[in-house]
């Protein structure tokens, strides 16, 4: 279509389809062709389609086009996404674009940029329906009709006073339900018990609130209850996804990173992984010293060596199961700090069952390689103790770290692995000493 310059078809392409779908169809085009197609869309539609490309692509397009053109597009992008984009652009480009924007938009961008990444302020959009208490239902609809097109969401209307203090909230559903009673004022309709987020609040805690109260959007206020903006449901889903992905990575002892896995620099990735890998390495080094310490026992009973990896990995695996279960349960709000005794009690039961079962298998195998049936007992006794220790360590450390104000996901698994490794060796040799005399 582009090659043939079919203007009306291109306009049709930009308007008839869902903007997400239009963007999908253009994935294969190169940046400048996408930009040319976008010129056929109306300005608000253009921003919407543009918003469905991934950030890397968006930045590439913005960087290539003349600032006058990009400024026009940026004006149409929702305030929260716009700030993220601008933060990704090179400083010179930003300096070229900003002066081309209207003053109010520019001030808005500057303000949003001042909130640190990861706070409610950085996540919010300032394009929100703010109305006065004294408006009637009828007047509210007239007002909304004028501004609806430029707002990201009109599903909640926020009622503010002359000083921009948040007084209450009216949902569009309530407003529509009251259509037969047009003289009611918003002040009479509004709910005054509004669930809010503070601008400096951590984004994960905001996401939790939105989830708990099943909200479509949450208003962001400053400490003086001034209404600053709102955070919408789509940003909340992103936060939840980010938070849980970071958890999974921390559990595997990787420092989380912002970039895409395929795009992050190899040196950065090596650093993010190497950090914890090195800590784990030093923990494992301790086992070498422990084994060296028990040199004599191992020389006499050479067959004990064969089971070292089995014992260590059984302890490590059961411990990492326990730690992961507790960490995910804490993230999901199922386990609180005060639940430690209950968690420990249950874990003891589970670990005895698991340990008992695996010990039985271990005993059976050991019977074939140990010098006597009594000697073979070393293996099941060790396995049972190591698995119970691993499980109890695994549930205790995350709860302990959380109580100390540390991130349970980040700290637990390396520590659990380190402790269980060394404990495994010590238990093993001491059980052997007792059983074998």
3-state per-residue secondary structure call for 412-425: HHHHHHHHHHHHHH
How far, in Å, CA of 121 to CA of 111, rounded?
Answer: 9
Q: Which residues pair with 264 in a beta bridge?
A: none
Least gap, CB of 256 to a copy of itself (angstroms):
10
Identify the H or E element spanning 169. Answer: strand 166-171
How many Cα atoms occupy the beta-carbon half-sphere of 371 within 13 Å? 9
- CB-wise, 132 or 290, nearer to a copy of itself? 290
| Binding string, residues 371-400; x marks residues near a copy of itself by CB under 8 A | ------------------------------
Least gap, CB of 362 to a copy of itself (angstroms):
8
3-state secondary structure of 236: helix
Q: Is 80 in the site for a copy of itself (CB under 8 A)?
A: no
Residue pair 192/167 in contact by the 8 Å Cβ criterion: yes
Going by C-alpha positions, the residue among 132, 193, 201 that lies closest to residue 165 is: 132
Going by C-alpha positions, the residue among 141, 130, 147, 153 that lies closest to residue 181 is: 141
- CB-wise, 162 or 213, nearer to a copy of itself? 213
Least gap, CB of 189 to a copy of itself (angstroms):
13
Restricting to residues 396-435, name those near a copy of itself by CB under 8 A: 417, 421, 425
Least gap, CB of 192 to a copy of itself (angstroms):
7
Least gap, CB of 291 to a copy of itself (angstroms):
4
Q: Is 56 in the site for a copy of itself (CB under 8 A)?
A: no
Q: Choose the binding region for a copy of itself from 104-112, 223-231, 310-318, 398-406 (rule: CB under 8 A).
A: 310-318
Q: Residue 186: exposed, middle, or buried by beta-carbon count in 10 A (0-12, 13-18, 19+)? A: buried
Q: Choose the binding region for a copy of itself from 63-71, 93-101, 108-116, 346-354 (rule: CB under 8 A).
A: 346-354
Among 1, 68, 337, 361, binds a copy of itself (CB under 8 A): 361
- CB-wise, 38 or 49, nearer to a copy of itself? 49
Query: Which pairing describes strands 156-160 and 166-171: parallel, antiparallel, or unpaired?
Result: antiparallel
Q: Is 58 in the site for a copy of itself (CB under 8 A)?
A: no
Restricting to residues 188-207, name those near a copy of itself by CB under 8 A: 191-195
How far, in Å, CA of 67 to CA of 73, rounded?
Answer: 10
Axis-axis angle for helices 43-51, 67-76 (nearest 10): 90
Q: Which two tokens stand for residue 382?
A: 């060790």
Q: Choose the binding region for a copy of itself from 84-92, 99-107, 222-230, 246-254 (rule: CB under 8 A).
A: 246-254
How far, in Å, CA of 118 to CA of 351, rounded?
Answer: 38
Restricting to residues 125-144, name those near a copy of itself by CB under 8 A: 141-142, 144
Q: Choose the binding region for a copy of itself from 32-40, 64-72, 117-125, 361-369 (rule: CB under 8 A).
A: 361-369
- CB-wise, 1 or 64, nearer to a copy of itself? 1
């Amino acid at each position: 279509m582009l090659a043939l310059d079919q203007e009306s078809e291109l306009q049709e392409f930009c308007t008839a389809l869902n903007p997400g779908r239009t963007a999908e169809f253009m994935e294969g085009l190169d940046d400048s062709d996408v930009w040319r197609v976008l010129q056929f869309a109306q300005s608000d539609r253009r921003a919407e389609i543009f918003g469905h490309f991934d950030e890397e692509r968006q930045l590439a397009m913005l960087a290539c086009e003349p600032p006058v053109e990009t400024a026009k597009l940026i004006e149409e992008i929702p305030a929260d996404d716009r700030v993220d984009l601008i933060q990704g652009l090179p400083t010179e480009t930003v300096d070229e674009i900003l002066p081309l924007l209207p003053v109010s938009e520019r001030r808005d961008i500057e303000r949003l940029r001042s909130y640190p990444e990861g706070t409610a302020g950085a996540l919010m959009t300032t394009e929100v329906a703010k109305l006065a208490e004294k408006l009637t239902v009828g007047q509210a609809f007239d007002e909304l009709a004028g501004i609806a097109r430029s707002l990201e969401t009109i599903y909640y209307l926020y009622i503010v006073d002359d000083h921009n203090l948040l007084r209450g909230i009216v949902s569009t559903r309530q407003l529509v339900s009251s259509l037969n009673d047009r003289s009611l004022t918003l002040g009479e309709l509004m709910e005054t018990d509004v669930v809010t987020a503070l601008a400096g609040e951590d984004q994960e805690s905001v996401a939790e609130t939105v989830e708990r109260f099943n909200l479509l959007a949450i208003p962001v206020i400053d400490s003086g209850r001034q209404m600053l903006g709102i955070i919408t449901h789509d940003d909340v889903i992103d936060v939840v996804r980010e938070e849980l992905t970071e958890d999974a990575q921390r559990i595997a002892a990787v420092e989380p990173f912002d970039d895409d896995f395929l795009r992050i620099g190899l040196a950065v990735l090596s650093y993010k992984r190497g950090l914890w890998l090195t800590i784990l390495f030093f923990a494992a080094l301790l086992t070498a010293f422990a084994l060296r310490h028990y040199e004599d026992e191992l020389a006499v009973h050479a067959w004990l060596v064969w089971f070292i990896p089995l014992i260590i990995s059984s302890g490590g695996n059961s411990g990492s199961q326990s730690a992961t279960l507790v960490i995910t349960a804490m993230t999901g709000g199922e386990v609180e700090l005060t639940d430690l005794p209950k968690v420990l009690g249950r874990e003891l039961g589970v670990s005895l069952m698991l340990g008992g079962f695996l010990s039985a298998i271990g005993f059976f195998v050991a019977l074939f390689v140990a010098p006597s049936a009594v000697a073979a007992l070393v293996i099941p006794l060790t396995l049972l103790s190591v698995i119970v220790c691993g499980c109890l360590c695994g549930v205790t450390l995350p709860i302990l770290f959380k109580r100390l104000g540390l991130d349970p996901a980040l700290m637990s698994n390396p520590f659990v692995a380190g402790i269980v490794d060394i404990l495994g060796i010590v238990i093993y040799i001491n059980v052997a000493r007792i059983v074998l005399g």
